[in-house]
Amino acid sequence: MDLILNLMDGVSMPAVSNAWIDVYEPATGAVLARLPDSDERDVELAYLAADRALAGWKAMGREGRSNVLLRLAQLIEDDLEAFAQLESKDNGKPLALARKVDIPRAVANFRFFATAILHFPSEAHVMDDVAVNWTDRQPIGVVGCISPWNLPLYLFTWKIAPALAAGNCVVAKPSEVTPCTAHRLSTLCARAGMPSGVLNIVHGLGPKVGAAITAHPGIPAISFTGGTRTGAEIARVAAPMFKKLSLELGGKNPVLVFDDCDMEEALSTTVRSSFTNQGQICLCGSRILVHERIYARFRDAFVSRVEQLRVGDPTSPDSDLGAVVSRDHMEKVLSYIDLARTEGGKVLCGGTRVQLEGALSGGWYIAPTVIEGLGPQCRTNQEEIFGPVVTLQSFTSDEEAIALANSTPYGLAAVIWTTDLKRSHRVARAINAGIVWVNCWMVRDLRTPFGGMKQSGVGREGGVDALRFFTEAKNICIKL
Ligand code: NAD
């Protein structure tokens, strides 16, 4: 069994409490590793180390920091296969997905922000012959980064890369459900030339470690990705301390399929946008809205493709879906399928746990599930399920499609399928979501603003937005 350790001031160590928490392998249900059950004492040690490292890290300048992050990216890339195997084992996701998306994207996050910081401009505003203003952007200091379990290394690096590039030192907390790849990353930092204390990783439970980071008076900025309820708790604690907050929260994303769409593309991509990573991506579409003229045709073709998806061993190239992340999560998703039935929904396919054989018999698998017959206001269509479950609803006009799309408390992402250029512009602008894809899904340019409206979050990550978040702007006005 593997032992996960905290990274404190450049040293791998257990928690002060010396207590441990079991980490499970979703594919088998067996214990995979143990992680430190850290608390506010570990957060304090991490904070002190980060604070000591600040001046040196800032003094390395943009180029020095950029070089460290580029070396770290290279070290992860050189170790890609081991990282991918570990991510798949820890999370239950297909190994092929970890190889193709999760780990390459973690590498790309470091490369992107290592170079973005070299091009990060300061604005100047000249007032004719009166004065010149220029915007000085300094690192904030010690910042907190808290990340979830669905894309463990991918979202962990999406936060720490811009934070570090901008010159901050970091106290980071990966999800306790999937801590393995963050631990592996911690073993590479010194080899990349990162000074001790610049990145500190404190493992453990959210209400202990995450809460201690949020409440720490020396940590003035928190970047958080996770559930809306946790985000609200973080905001409640951080607001009276006037902390800077970036909150990337839940979603209930609509997919709008108009009757002029390219049916083949809409079908194949909607299968992916529904069930990639077992539906556990915040950007997955979970409410599929289809024009009534093509509803029956789309539904029948969609269901027949979903029925062909194979749920199985995450390491097998034949598996389209692996396991969901934990027993608790599996039970939550199955309870939503039961709820959908009680609300009058008709399960068109899936709807049950999948029981595999042999070593995988204790694993947490769910058949990809499609439900129809539910109205927009029922809980199944309002609450985030975050698993391999989607619903189908029909609409008769653009206005109705837009109203349905906007009918939840969330506003993270949306997908529109249409070949009408005017409609694509009009509908995209009318949807209350931070990210809208037209005739595609998950096409990501790291320079674009990433984040949600309404209960899907506050602030934007990505590109210049992330570098602005992790710096404090100061206007310096000089009389001419
Ligand atoms: P979660 O909110 O349970 O946990 C996220 C992180 O917060 C974990 O590290 C957890 O330990 C920590 N945490 C828990 N309680 C805390 C507290 N009181 N104070 C501080 N930290 C605390 O979320 P999860 O179950 O790990 O992830 C799934 C959720 O994340 C879904 O709702 C999904 O939509 C969301 N998500 C959003 C995005 C996005 O970009 N908007 C991306 C991925 C996932």
Q: For atom 42 of ligand 1, which residue has the closest CA?
A: 282
Distance CA 373, CA 344 (A): 7
Residue range 249-267, pLDDT digits in tens: 999 999 999 999 999 999 9
Looking at the structure, do residues 419 and 462 belong to the same domain, yes or no? Answer: no
Residue-range definition of the domain harbouring residue 150? 2-249+456-479
Vertex 114 angle, CA 109 and 118, to 5° = 140
CATH number at residue 25: 3.40.605.10
Looking at the structure, do residues 145 and 199 belong to the same domain, yes or no? Answer: yes
Looking at the structure, do residues 421 and 292 belong to the same domain, yes or no? Answer: yes
Looking at the structure, do residues 162 and 281 belong to the same domain, yes or no? Answer: no
Across 290-312, average pLDDT: 98
Residue 451 domain flag: no
Q: Helices 103-116 and 80-91: crossing angle, nearest 10°?
A: 120
Looking at the structure, do residues 245 and 265 belong to the same domain, yes or no? Answer: no
C-alpha dihedral (410, 387, 86, 172), degrees to nearest 10: 30
Residue range 7-20, pLDDT digits in tens: 999 999 999 999 99
* pTM score of the predicted model: 0.98
Residue 285 domain flag: yes
Number of domains in the chain: 2
Looking at the structure, do residues 344 and 422 belong to the same domain, yes or no? Answer: yes
Ligand 1 pocket: which of 101, 156, 171, 225 to mutate (most atoms within 8 A of CB): 225
Vertex 453 angle, CA 447 and 455, to 5° = 130
CATH number at residue 259: 3.40.309.10
Residue 294 domain flag: yes
Looking at the structure, do residues 48 and 121 belong to the same domain, yes or no? Answer: yes
Distance CA 452, CA 465 (A): 13
Task: Report the separation in Å between the CA atom of 124 and the middle of ligand 1, taken as the mean of its atom positions.
Answer: 38
Residue range 335-383, pLDDT digits in tens: 999 999 999 999 999 999 999 999 999 999 999 999 999 999 999 999 9
Task: Report the separation in Å between the CA atom of 302 and the middle of ligand 1, taken as the mean of its atom positions.
Answer: 31
pLDDT score recorded for residue 1: 60
Residue range 102-148, pLDDT digits in tens: 999 999 999 999 999 999 999 999 999 999 999 999 999 999 999 99
Does the pLDDT of residue 314 top 70, yes or no? yes
Tokens of 208: 């202990």
Task: Report the separation in Å between the CA atom of 159 and the middle of ligand 1, taken as the mean of its atom positions.
Answer: 13
Residues in the chain: 480
Active site residue 282: yes
- Report the chain's mean pLDDT, rounded to a whole number: 98
Q: Reduce the DSSP state of residue 256 to 3 states and report it.
A: strand
Which of 282, 284, 372, 461 is catalytic? The answer is: 282
Looking at the structure, do residues 245 and 258 belong to the same domain, yes or no? Answer: no
Residue 450 domain flag: no
Active site residue 477: no
Looking at the structure, do residues 238 and 293 belong to the same domain, yes or no? Answer: no
Distance CA 84, CA 77 (A): 10
Residue 115 domain flag: yes
Looking at the structure, do residues 365 and 243 belong to the same domain, yes or no? Answer: no
Looking at the structure, do residues 24 and 144 belong to the same domain, yes or no? Answer: yes
Residue 244 domain flag: yes
Looking at the structure, do residues 301 and 321 belong to the same domain, yes or no? Answer: yes
